Chain A
Amino acid sequence: VIIVDDHLALLALAGRLPDLPDTNGPVATTHAFQFRLARALADSTQSGTLSGRLVDPMAALRRATQPPAHRLVVLDPRASLGQAIDVATRHPANLLLAELIGAAQHHQAAVRLSPANVGTSWPAVLAAEGIDFGTVDV
């Protein structure tokens, strides 16, 4: 399993995610990143980049809320809740980061993020938790 952020998840949903070096397995994202993505898509179809460009704007939102499994898996946060809570007790991690690391530990997954989505403290926390982490510039 390879866990990606919302930016890379959208490229995966569009079938345009480039090969991710040194990884294998299905591409997945967390529930928190899915929420961020779906909220931004909904906002964009109303007033942003996507407004007026789609015959059926809701199709873009459906792609994110009901992703085709061959393109993107959304990991059930309940499966890794215990690990996420452990992470949040060891580090100053919010829901987004704690769920990400907890899911990576639970699924023994690699984490690949776009550089703009790496918080200042994240590399150190990911390293301390032993996560296979890298950035992908797209």
Chain B
Amino acid sequence: VADDDALDAVLADAARDVADRARALSRRDPDLDIE
């Protein structure tokens, strides 16, 4: 449970950066880009 709690905290803290990375990686992929 402690490990899960730690993972929750790290993922929440990194969510915006990971989302930015997901967008950046998808810009070269026409099927997955938002534009």
Contact = CB atoms under 8 A, between A and B. Distances in A.
Interface of A: 5-7, 10-11, 13-16, 32, 35-37, 39-41, 43-44, 48-50, 53-56, 59-60, 63, 94-97, 114, 116-120, 122, 138
B11 A10 contact: yes
A43 B23 CA distance: 12
Nearest to B9: A14
A95 B21 CA distance: 19
24 contacts: A6-B19, A6-B22, A7-B15, A14-B7, A16-B12, A32-B32, A39-B22, A43-B21, A43-B25, A44-B14, A49-B18, A49-B21, A56-B3, A59-B7, A60-B7, A60-B10, A94-B31, A94-B32, A96-B31, A116-B20, A116-B23, A117-B19, A119-B33, A138-B15
Chain B residues touching A, majority SS: helix
Interface residues of B, number: 25
